[in-house]
Structure 1
Amino acid sequence: MSQMMLVRHGQANSGARDEESYDRLSDLGHQQAAWLGAYLRDTGQHFTRVYCGSMRRHQETAQGMGAEQYGSLQIDARLNEFPYFSLAQAYERQTSEPIPMTREGFAMQLERVLAAWAADELEDIAEPFADFAARVDAVIQDIASGDGPALVVTSGGLISTVLRTTLALNTPAWAQMCLAIHNTSLHHWQAFMGRQLLTQFNSVPHLDTPERRHALTHL
């Protein structure tokens, strides 16, 4: 029976204002990855395959976890995040609504940006929504069809999009999932009667101690 454990990368450069600058782990992000790797080893988690996106933060997280102990790391660009800054810049050009400078502002604007993207209303963007959704569906189907449990290191936007499909979420709920997903959180799917069932969401057992509560991050 095929199983997939999707992991969001560790905390990245949350002060960045573009895709390239964001794409590296903070010191805390490296620590989160190390704690997660230790938790998986200590609890005897078993995987026969391991994948990650081609982004720097994905690979740094996988390496920090020691993910290659489960097999050769398979890097697949289809697991990369959607281009948020490109989308937000396009939204600003078309609506004159600036890219938010605060976490609260980002949370309030995200749903509007995603809705415009999904409706194909944004112009001059790096990746149309239809293309993003198609590559996410394709890579998840490919991984799900493989043999044995798979460990997959990716991004929150991609995980939330898999949730969107699994749970038939509307855009407001999809945006909420994007905002809710913790860094280095675990999300588990299991095959059942030809479908992928969500059996675990946003779990962070490696951070669930008083001395690590400060490490519970979203950005």
Structure 2
Amino acid sequence: MGVLHLIRHGQASFGSDDYDVLSPLGHTQASAIGQAWEAAEFQPTDAIAGSMRRHSETAINAIDACGGPDGYDVDAGWNEYDHIGIATAHDEGALALDTKAFQAVLNEALARWREGVGEFDEPYAGFQKRVLAAFERAVAVAGPGRQVAVFSSGGPIAMAVSHVLVGDDSLFQRLNDVLVNASITTILCGTSGPRLLSFNEHTHLPRDLVTYR
């Protein structure tokens, strides 16, 4: 049996000129992952990251802190949906809001996106298809004895877990709402197919390092 560890990136830079970089706190969160692995004498055998900068920065911090594996593969299928584009299409002033108000607007916008309202470069159906394809590729890597770390975002992780649990996307938004930055979701990959072992685990983060956006 193999294992997938789906890791949400550390806190990104909300409200800055470039959201897609880790904040100073995000770097600390990412390093905490690797430090916890090192303390447990654990190293992934393989690592995969989406192609976004916040994914690579999280992977590098975590891998450096635990001493391995030697690099990671890039799979853009694990990239997040365009949350800024989706939110601002619903409310042009979304980016001027604080994080709590922005999340409320985003949730409304995501519901409309899922219903097919509006025109976007990537429709919801396309997002779902590419994430599930990336998940299948990662499961294939997680053969017997492999411990595969996947560095991604809340949306793809929520999508994958919803399908593991109920076989469809019906839990996507509820799961997506509660994912903690730098949390770890663990999926067992065996002959009976992928099975969820733990979701959104973040005991490696002290309370003052726990963030959702």
TM-score, with structure 1 as normaliser:
0.86
SS of residue matched to 2:14 = coil
Could you tell me whether the CA contact under 8 Å between 1:62 and 1:153 is conserved in 2? yes
Amino acid at match of 2:139: A
Q: Deviations over 1:43-87 (max 9, x none)?
A: 022422100011111111111112671233101111111101111
Amino acid at match of 2:195: L
Aligned-residue sequence identity (percent) comes to: 30
Could you tell me whether the CA contact under 8 Å between 1:2 and 1:145 is conserved in 2? no
Could you tell me whether the CA contact under 8 Å between 1:87 and 1:122 is conserved in 2? no
Match of 1:26 among 6, 23, 26: 23
Distance in 2 between the 1:45 and 1:160 partners?
25
SS of residue matched to 2:4 = strand
Amino acid at match of 1:36: I
2:107 is matched with 111
Could you tell me whether the CA contact under 8 Å between 1:3 and 1:149 is conserved in 2? yes
2:46 is matched with 49
Aligned runs of 1:117-196 on 2, under 5 Å?
A: 117-123=113-119, 125-146=120-141, 147=143, 148-168=146-166, 173-196=171-194
Distance in 2 between the 1:24 and 1:104 partners?
20
Distance in 1 between the 2:45 and 2:191 partners?
22
SS of residue matched to 2:182 = coil
Structure 2, unmatched stretches of 5+, are: none
1:7 is matched with 7
Distance in 2 between the 1:103 and 1:133 partners?
25
Q: How far apart are residue 167 of structure 1 and its match?
A: 2.5
Distance in 2 between the 1:104 and 1:26 partners?
18
2:62 is matched with 65
Q: How far apart are residue 192 of structure 1 and its match?
A: 4.0
Distance in 2 between the 1:189 and 1:48 partners?
15
Could you tell me whether the CA contact under 8 Å between 1:86 and 1:126 is conserved in 2? no
SS of residue matched to 2:41 = coil
Amino acid at match of 1:176: R
Distance in 2 between the 1:104 and 1:69 partners?
36
Distance in 2 between the 1:189 and 1:118 partners?
25
Q: How far apart are residue 170 of structure 1 and its match?
A: 6.2
TM-score, with structure 2 as normaliser:
0.88
Q: Deviations over 1:26-50 (max 9, x none)?
A: 1111111112111111102242210
